[in-house]
Amino acid sequence: MESMLGILSSLPRRQRVLIIAIAFIPMTLVTLCCAPALIVLPFFPGGVDRTRTLIAALVTWSRTILLGSLDGHHSARNARRPN
């Protein structure tokens, strides 16, 4: 019975890891698809600004995935904490 309790207590951590892994699959695909543009864009007029915008978007999406998974984890932890 103790092993079952151990599995249940570690379930939120495992869910978080699984959600992040699943969310990063499309993020990785988008990043790989943007790689040719990131290589070529700086050589075109105005391309540096567009490259910076694209990189900023990729960074924002990555942070959203990571921090979004933390919000649920921390709110669940705070909900269990006695006042």
Closest by CA position to 50, among listed 39, 61, 60: 39
Residue 50, amino acid: R
Structure confidence at residue 27 (pLDDT): 87
Check whether 12 has a pLDDT greater than 60: yes
Sign (positive or negative) of CA dihedral 23, 26, 31, 32 = positive
Tens digit of each residue's pLDDT (9 = 90 or more) over 23-70: 888 888 998 999 998 899 899 999 999 999 999 999 998 888 877 766
User: Is residue 35 a contact partner of residue 51, using CB atoms and an 8 Å limit?
Assistant: no
Kindly report the number of other CB atoms within 10 A of residue 72's CB atom: 13
- Give the pair of three-digit tokens for residue 22: 């699943």
